[in-house]
Amino acid sequence: MKYLTRTIWILSFISLLTDIASEMLYPIMPIYLSSIGFSVLLIGILEGVAEATAGLSKGYFGQLSDHKEKRAPFVRWGYSLSAIAKPMLALTVYPLWIFLARTVDRLGKGIRTGARDAMLSDEASPATKGRVFGFHRSMDTMGAVIGPSLALLYLYFNPANYRLMFLLAFFPGILAVGLSFYLKDKNVSPKENNKSSVSFFSFLHYWKTSPIVYRKLVAGLLVFTLGNSSDVFLLLKVKQAGLSDTATIGVYIFYNLVYALSSYPLGLLADKIGLKKIFLAGLLFFVMVYAGMTITGTWYWYGVLFFLYGIFAAATEGVSIAWISNITSKNDTATAIGTFTGFQSICTMLASTVTGWIWFRFGAGSAFAITAILTLIVVLYIGLNIPAPEREP
């Protein structure tokens, strides 16, 4: 495991701690917002604004990181903002303040994402990127197992005392910020045009100048994202099938556990047999899950589906970023990843809106079936039109 460098370990532990903080709050966020007077519509607007902020800022800060040839400051500031945002939510229930806190949290994610993934890419070779991104994703997702578990334990002893949990979530977040000070940028020679400015939307120009294979791959990924709505819809389906609140959160924890435990092994496998093969296999698991969700079953039926859903996530999340980093210039890694993840955030927001409308108009079965069919089309498109990335022997 010599390829797991000091930087990779630090970034992975930072993501683990940050995800513990975030996922402690994920199960209770809608409940808390409702308890302080937020309607469903206002919650939707809040999350939409937050995701749009994250999406647009990912591209800009990714390009800014490439432009300045700096990674560590963006990672440090990004995680700092997210840590600060947690206790902000507990200070007051004034709606504008809640909007500000959520926006600060998502802005932090936008600042750090491209730089962090570029830093991971710089620590790997084309032949080891699958395992490197898989290991990082595994550590990151383990936070989504620990966080909700801590939330369940806390709520067992302190039912309905939500505001204290926002304060407690600050501690793993601040530990992550402390670790970020151990990150150091590699020595690079300054660019000749380093004095030029980067406008907020200038990352959009990268789309025109990027490699054609990048545009073809990202186009397919974004079409898939338009069908891949929030996991809230899967949990809502489980809840409607009669599972209790505790069981529903338990299913979510189980999915993240499978995701965390599978990411690193599937990353290793992707390096051996190819990123494209593992990614397409992951999408086929996704099709199986959404097709299965059209059927109302018992708790063990949903257990199987969420097991497969964890495999899907492990086979696609880190692998897609590794694939993108292998087909783009090293000087543009953060821009390429930031541009993709920025567009991805916007598409995710649209996907949830469209899925919600289909669910309301035609029922849950139709929403899941349409997503499964759309994903099959994407599998065929990527399989037939996009070559596998080159690998080192």
Q: What would the DSSP string read from start to end of 147-165?
A: HHHHHHHHHHHSTT-HHHH
Q: What is the pLDDT, as a whole number, of residue 200?
A: 66
Contact (Cβ atoms closer than 8 angstroms) between residue 381 and residue 84: no
Q: Mean pLDDT throughout 352-356?
A: 80
Q: Is the model's pLDDT at 77 over the cut of 90?
A: yes
For residue 180, pLDDT over 60 is answered with yes
pLDDT digits (tens, 9 = 90+) for 213-226: 999 999 999 999 98
The answer to whether the Cα torsion of 269, 275, 277, 282 is positive or negative is positive
CA distance 13 to 138: 10
Residue with tokens 């959404």: 290
Give me the DSSP letters along 229-277. --THHHHHHHHHTT--HHHHHHHHHHHHHHHHHHHHHHHHHHHHH-HHH
Angle between helices 333-362 and 364-385 (to 10 degrees): 150
Pick the residue with more confidence: 89 or 183? 183
pLDDT of residue 191: 52
Report residue 206's pLDDT band, with 50, 70 and 90 as the boundaries. Answer: confident
Residue 65 exposure: Cα atoms within 13 Å on the Cβ side: 34
- pLDDT of res. 240: 78
51/144 Cα distance (integer angstroms): 19
Q: Which pLDDT score, from 0 to 100, does residue 135 have?
A: 92
Phi, psi of 230 (to 5 degrees): -60, 145
Q: Is 39 exposed, middle or buried (0-12, 13-18, 19+ CB in 10 A)?
A: exposed
**Distance from C-alpha of 132 to C-alpha of 217, rounded to nearest angstrom:** 21
Q: Whole-number mean pLDDT of the chain?
A: 84
Residue 295 is classified by DSSP as S
Please name which of 327, 330, 228, 223 lies closest in space to residue 275, comparing C-alpha atoms: 327
In angstroms, rounded to a whole number, what is the distance separating the alpha carbons of residues 235 and 243? 10
Token duo for residue 76:
């440090």
User: If you average pLDDT over residues 269-289, what whole number do you get?
Assistant: 93
388 secondary structure, DSSP code: P
Average pLDDT on 280-293 reads 94
pLDDT of residue 173: 92
Mean pLDDT of 335-350: 83
Tokens for 300, please give them.
């063990």
Q: Quick one: pLDDT at residue 364?
A: 83
| pLDDT for res 174 | 94
Tell me what pLDDT residue 280 has.
95
What pLDDT sits at residue 393? 40
Please tell me the distance from the alpha carbon of residue 256 to that of residue 105, in angstroms, as a whole number: 22
The answer, yes or no, to whether residue 46 has pLDDT greater than 90, is: no
CA 273 to chain centre: 25
149-158 core/surface letters (b: 16 or more CB in 10 A; e: else): bbbbebbeee
The tokens for 124 are 């790997």
Provide the 8-state DSSP code for 204.
Answer: G
Which has the minimum average pLDDT: 48-62, 83-97, 190-204, 281-295?
A: 190-204
Q: Which residue has the higher pLDDT, 11 or 341?
A: 11
Give the model's confidence band at 54: pLDDT under 50 very low, under 70 low, under 90 confident, else very high.
confident
Q: 382, 220 in Cβ contact below 8 A?
A: yes
Does the pLDDT at position 373 exceed 60? yes
Least confident of 80-84, 185-189, 237-241, 255-259: 185-189
CATH architecture of 6-181+205-385: Up-down Bundle (1.20)
List helix spans (H) across the chain: 6-25, 29-35, 40-68, 72-91, 95-122, 129-157, 162-168, 170-180, 206-209, 212-227, 232-240, 245-273, 275-292, 299-326, 333-362, 364-385
Predicted TM-score (pTM) of this structure = 0.82
Q: With 80 as the cut, is the pLDDT of residue 381 above it?
A: yes
Give me the percent of the chain exceeding a pLDDT of 70.
91
- Predicted pLDDT of residue 26: 72
Residue 326: C-alpha distances to residues 184, 281, 321 (Å): 23, 19, 9
Residue 40 has pLDDT above 70, yes or no: no
Residue pair 26/152 in contact (Cβ under 8 Å)? The answer is no
192 pLDDT band, cuts 50/70/90, is low
Q: Which residue has the higher pLDDT, 381 or 386?
A: 381
Is residue 116 a contact partner of residue 11, using CB atoms and an 8 Å limit?
Answer: yes
- Tens of pLDDT, residues 134-147: 999 899 989 989 98
pLDDT value, residue 41 = 62
Does residue 104 have a pLDDT over 80?
Answer: yes
| Lowest mean pLDDT across 149-158, 194-203, 251-260 | 194-203
Tokens of 231: 């996991």
Q: Which two tokens stand for residue 205?
A: 């120009």
